[in-house]
Amino acid sequence: MREALFVKQNSGKWKSYEQLQTSNPDEIAERFIDITNDLAYAKTFYPKSKTTAYLNGLASVLHQSIYKNKKEDTNRFVTFWKFELPVLFYTYRRQLLYAFLFFTISCAIGVLSAKYDDAFVRLILGDSYVNMTNENIAKGDPFGVYKKEGPIGMFVRIAINNIYVSFLCFLSGIFLGIGPVFMLLRNGVMLGSFEYYFFSKGLGVESVLVIWIHGTLEISAIIIAGAAGLVMGHGLLFPKTYTRLQAFKNSAKDGTKIALGIVPIFFVAAFFEGFITRYTSMPLWLSISILGGSLMFMIWYVIIYPLQLIKRIQNSQHDRKTGI
């Protein structure tokens, strides 16, 4: 389609979005999705045109309106986790995929390194941890480490540590996205060697059923934190039609939203680790239920629900345009 025809078909809609003010978050969201679709088309076929620059600016205004639109505090919290965070997951789905791939590859590196180098596990996990776990295995309680500390103290310590690690992973994105990659690789190698250690002792399945009760949420959230760091770095590396400073501000704000949004997940994971994981002899069905439920929730909330939300908004736009 020629640019002139594209502008003619959509200019009325764009002007109405500029002129007609609304405080309805759903309406603002629909406008934002619609404009970003037009912007994506314009960037593809008219990358250096004034039309693309105009749509970029309009999308930025709507983007800011989403976060400035405040009603009651309770509604603000509901809106954030029901709409804003899932939309960010959809918008930055590539960064989420990259973070997942980086982490998965590093896990494989950890497994292979531990398999072909007997000293690697001790290098990564430390002599004290390996010696302690060997003693626990000899006593018939391989996961006794989760019982050494009181549940409340363990919950607080784990929650603080995991949130610290996640924000460090996010903030390291300022180093052009290299920091999050390093953090994901480091944690992935550690997890891979950790799991190989238990599998090599004939405790692989048991380790999954015990450790991944809390690990499913914890590791998923760390991957998302890495993606938040990649989002920040993306703004610095690829400002597109924005100035580099403005692109960084936008990406840093979105990355911060993602990093803050996963804090409750860390609290739930810490609760599981402090209060639930210590019951290493719990029924098989209960362990599988907690683990499976956590995994299904993360897949639904990070992947499936955002797709459904965007599709619903796009269908609503289509119905309104066609008069249905």
d(CA 96, CA 181): 12
CB count, 10 Å around CB of 266? 23
Could you give the C-alpha distances from 23 to 29, 71, 260, 268, in angstroms and in order?
11, 9, 24, 33
CB count, 10 Å around CB of 77? 10
Residue-by-residue pLDDT tens, the chain, 324 positions: 678 888 888 887 777 777 656 666 667 777 777 788 788 878 878 877 888 888 888 787 777 766 555 444 456 778 889 888 999 999 999 999 999 999 999 999 999 999 999 899 999 999 999 999 999 999 899 998 888 889 999 999 999 999 999 999 999 999 888 999 999 999 999 999 999 999 999 999 999 999 999 999 999 999 999 999 999 998 888 887 778 888 888 899 999 999 999 999 999 999 999 999 989 888 999 999 999 999 999 999 999 999 998 888 777 666 655 555
3-state secondary structure of 149: coil
DSSP classification of residue 21:
-
Could you give the C-alpha distances from 283 to 42, 141, 206, 209, in angstroms and in order?
57, 16, 12, 10
- What region does 158 belong to: left with phi over 0, alpha with psi -120 to 50, or beta? alpha
Residues 6+ apart with CB under 8 A from 305: 86
d(CA 317, CA 34): 8
d(CA 206, CA 282): 11
Could you give the C-alpha distances from 276 to 5, 60, 287, 303, in angstroms and in order?
62, 45, 10, 27
Look-up of token digits 């405040």: 70
Tell me the per-residue pLDDT of 44-72, one tens digit each, with 9 for 90 and over: 788 778 888 888 887 877 777 665 554 44
Q: pTM for this structure? A: 0.77
Q: What are the tokens at 255? A: 């990355």
